[in-house]
Structure 1
Amino acid sequence: MRYMATYDLMETLRNTNEWLGATARAMASYPAVAMWPNPAMEMMRAWGEVTERSFARMVAKPDWHIDSLTAEDGKDHLVTTRKVIEKPFGDLIHFRVASRHDRPRKVLLVAPMSGHYATLLRKTVVSLLPDCEVYITDWHNARDIPVSAGKFDVEDYTLYLAEFMRELGPDTHVIAVCQPVPLTLAATAYLADDAPEAQPRSLTLIGGPVDPDAAPTEVTDFGHSVTMGQLEETMIQRVGFKYDGVGRMVYPGLLQLASFISMNGETHAKAFQNQIMAVAKGEATEHNKHNIFYDEYLAVMDMTAEFYLSTVERVFKNREIARNEFTIEGRKVDFGKITNVAVKIVEGEQDDISAPGQCLAALDLLTGLDDSKKAAHLEPGAGHYGIFAGKSWRNNIRPLVLDFIDANASGPATSKGPATVAKAKKPANKNRKAG
């Protein structure tokens, strides 16, 4: 499948379905049709509207839609994004709240590069903004990056994170979600050896595959059941002529989306059936739950082939992170050299992507870190999404993370944000003993 033809064929099929949806919606919306009311025409219009929107979202980068923030002074403050560092494969951006003093908590959110844009963490950003200065990694769609920009694999990803941490300084608190957890740990260890003064104050690692074999899931089973040759032959394609990255080898977002949907095919099919019926009855709205969820879920991005393949081979198959054998440009990254960065692990009891135990394995790697600097929390009944953006995050995990940040800050927190004032001095290891 490593050809432009297969990439363009997928884009052609997507484009055709978007056109069919637009055509059905337009035809069923003719004023003359209303002269002879027919439920079939309403169903046709509804199908067309849902289909057009769904297939159009697949090639659109979502907006952050974070326009303002109501601060403790009762005023609405405008929120803008500012690029702190611009690089070919990803930027470091800052959510700047106008007319507000900088918050003492400086947080770097490390977003996954696993098919979706950084906007997947929109709710996480919104929940942290009242109490923190929030920065986030904004990864670029590989199809839009010219081949002349070079490669981007797990080592490059780690070096990007190390550069971002250097830029923000040692008073930073890093929160990594899912896929980047092991590489965020590696970036910190890299700095511990190369520039110890640039290490962050704390790391909060949420639901990531530090040791995929600690608790097998469908994801890890798939990684072990296929060879690298099979993955390269079936998953990798070459970007077609429509995009700036023409010729670049990628794992296409559309192919990733097909895999995502196949994991819960019946659930997605029912959701779209219900949405079509709601549109036909006039009960659907522009920003109902279906549209809010699928506008984000369907917006996918291509990954560079070398990043996807090196992730599978080095993190999942060879378990280089779990075995403390990860290298960057031939130089070993030793996790034992992390000695003064507080680390908190957050896992969800019902997480079927990174099962409990996979992320917790990070603490065993930190042989040079005192137990007083380690903490762990297992959220009862929470799935993967819930531990960073759902109810479990909002009600339970977020307050614990802010407590952890305050307990490991250089000085007492001064923010008066909600749910933080009374708890600011709790110890770092207030949760389950991590030793």
Structure 2
Amino acid sequence: MKYMATYDLMESMRNTNQWLGATAKSLAAYPMFSLVPNPALQWLGAWGEVTERSFERMVAKPDWGLDSFTCEDGRDHLINVKTVVERPFGDLIHFEVQGRETKKRQILLVAPMSGHYATLLRSTVKSLVSDAEVYITDWHNARDIPVSEGKFDIEDYTLYLVDFMRELGPDTHVIAVCQPAPLTLAATAYLAEQDPDAQPRSLTLIGGPIDPDATPTDVTDFGNRVTMSQLAETAIQQVGFKFKGVGRMVYPGLLQLTSFMSMNQERHSQAFSDQIVRASKGEASDHDAHNRFYDEYLAVMDMPAEFYLSTVERIFKNGEIAKNEFVVDGHKVDIGAITTVAVKTVEGEKDDISAPGQCVAALDLCTGLPDSKKANHLEPGAGHYGIFAGSSWRNNIRPLVLEFIDSNSGAPKSKDKKAAASKPANKNAAAK
């Protein structure tokens, strides 16, 4: 029960801060105070406005906000977010552009389950939907999933990806962003062994910890600084009575958000102070730069405890993917079994979460893949967020990824696996 009490305490603190913000905002707007203007009241109202909005966003799943799109015909076409596969822990959804001819490119975006919703990739989706049929994994908040639905660990996550790939068929190009990169690589290898006809045409891994020990960062090295028992004791809590998932053990999104904020505490504090000043001057708006960023950044979701703990233990501590020792449902996956799926890795030079070297390690694991189907791109000056959603993605990386997809869109030809394995990885093929 102590875990449930801790969970409810965190939610109570969040709720209280939201209420305090709303109260301060309402108090400062009381008409009688206008008789004697006071700058302090303006500041109080601004503080309340920013505080209420911030704590309210922590429990609200953001909307995709993709209502329409102007196509080549010059007309606006509505975008329908359609569920293709519905599962307890996550759905496969399609951004269907109504009235538009089906695009030849078919892309599956694998979103992270690392504390934020799939909407974190909204700008990535927006940049791709004009040129492709875009699908994405939409993971659910664990606190809303009844205990009766059972567990969900990294093996279950991998099997979800396998099923999603099978649903879309072989004419699919998969892009995995950050945390799911190792498991997406494993899912592709699993298909290569179990169901070769369902393999995607290409796999692009962006900023993922394939080998966390290649170039450790504070984030990827975290698992080596604590024991699993310490992590289970301090990070895992039990969902309270207010939610559908009451009793489920989770790694709370609010706790993850605290970790995110502490990494750049000074920068975030300054950002909120500046926003309060802007709000007091009447210069803030619902869709200004601050609110656009933090409405998404502050929206967090709980992860199933077994998924979080197995990720830390098996991916970061034991390095099962890096050592090609990953087991799914009793089957040892051989990444070397990937012989036809083109694999590209993308890294950011200044990525402080998954540093350069961690993701490109995937190419060395693909021992059965010919040199012509391996590629790597290192984006100069780019941080973690920039390689999938910032200007680096839009201006440099996206064109390279689409070029890589187009060059590997044909049906694969049979290869001599032994001959392919003898060739070294060409780690800059797509960057030229």
Q: TM-score range by the shorter chain?
A: over 0.9
- Does the aligned pair in 2 maintain the 1:373–1:429 contact within 8 Å? no
How far is the alpha carbon of 1:223 from its aligned partner? 1.4
Show the counterpart of 2:60.
60
Task: Report how many residues are paired.
Answer: 418
Show the counterpart of 1:98.
98
Q: Secondary structure at the match of 1:93?
A: strand
Show the counterpart of 1:260.
260
Show the counterpart of 1:4.
4
- Spell out the pairing of 1:374-413 with structure 2 (5 A cutoff): 374-410=374-410
**Structure 2 CA distance for aligned equivalents of residues 269 and 239 of structure 1:** 29
Q: Secondary structure at the match of 1:357?
A: coil
Residue 156 of structure 2 is aligned to residue 175 of structure 1: no
Q: Secondary structure at the match of 1:3?
A: helix
Show the counterpart of 2:120.
120
Cα gap change, 1:72/1:356 in structure 2, threshold over 3 Å: closer, same or farther?
Answer: same
Per-residue CA shift, 1:2-36, capped at 9, x if unaligned? 61100000000000000000000001101111111
Per-residue CA shift, 1:122-172, capped at 9, x if unaligned? 000000011000000000000000000000000000000000000000000
Per-residue CA shift, 1:301-355, capped at 9, x if unaligned? 0000000000000000000000000001221000011000000010000000000
Per-residue CA shift, 1:85-137, capped at 9, x if unaligned? 00000000000001000000000000000000000000000000110000000
The amino acid across from 2:345 in the alignment is: I
- Does the aligned pair in 2 maintain the 1:373–1:428 contact within 8 Å? no
- Does the aligned pair in 1 maintain the 2:212–2:221 contact within 8 Å? no
Show the counterpart of 2:278.
278
- Spell out the pairing of 1:281-292 with structure 2 (5 A cutoff): 281-292=281-292
- Does the aligned pair in 2 maintain the 1:25–1:49 contact within 8 Å? yes
How far is the alpha carbon of 1:222 from its aligned partner? 1.6
- Spell out the pairing of 1:72-151 with structure 2 (5 A cutoff): 72-151=72-151
How far is the alpha carbon of 1:219 from its aligned partner? 0.9
The amino acid across from 1:158 in the alignment is: T
Show the counterpart of 2:367.
367
Cα gap change, 1:290/1:198 in structure 2, threshold over 3 Å: closer, same or farther?
Answer: same
- Does the aligned pair in 2 maintain the 1:327–1:333 contact within 8 Å? yes
Q: Which runs of 5+ in 1 are unaligned?
A: 412-426
Q: Report runs of 4+ in structure 1 exceeding 4 Å deviation.
A: none
The amino acid across from 2:160 in the alignment is: Y
Q: Which runs of 5+ in 2 are unaligned?
A: 412-425
**Structure 1 CA distance for aligned equivalents of residues 367 and 225 of structure 2:** 32
The amino acid across from 1:268 in the alignment is: H
Cα gap change, 1:236/1:428 in structure 2, threshold over 3 Å: closer, same or farther?
Answer: closer
TM-score by structure 1 length? 0.95
- Does the aligned pair in 2 maintain the 1:372–1:428 contact within 8 Å? no
Residue 324 of structure 2 is aligned to residue 349 of structure 1: no
- Spell out the pairing of 1:241-252 with structure 2 (5 A cutoff): 241-252=241-252
Per-residue CA shift, 1:378-422, capped at 9, x if unaligned? 0000000000000000000000000000000028xxxxxxxxxxx
Cα gap change, 1:428/1:200 in structure 2, threshold over 3 Å: closer, same or farther?
Answer: farther
The amino acid across from 1:402 in the alignment is: L
**Structure 2 CA distance for aligned equivalents of residues 286 and 110 of structure 1:** 29
How far is the alpha carbon of 1:431 from its aligned partner? 3.0
TM-score by structure 2 length? 0.95
How far is the alpha carbon of 1:285 from its aligned partner? 1.2
**Structure 2 CA distance for aligned equivalents of residues 428 and 254 of structure 1:** 39
Per-residue CA shift, 1:195-241, capped at 9, x if unaligned? 00000000000000000000010012221110001100000000000
**Structure 1 CA distance for aligned equivalents of residues 258 and 351 of structure 2:** 21
**Structure 2 CA distance for aligned equivalents of residues 269 and 232 of structure 1:** 30
- Does the aligned pair in 2 maintain the 1:404–1:428 contact within 8 Å? no
**Structure 2 CA distance for aligned equivalents of residues 281 and 82 of structure 1:** 42
* Percent identity over paired residues: 74
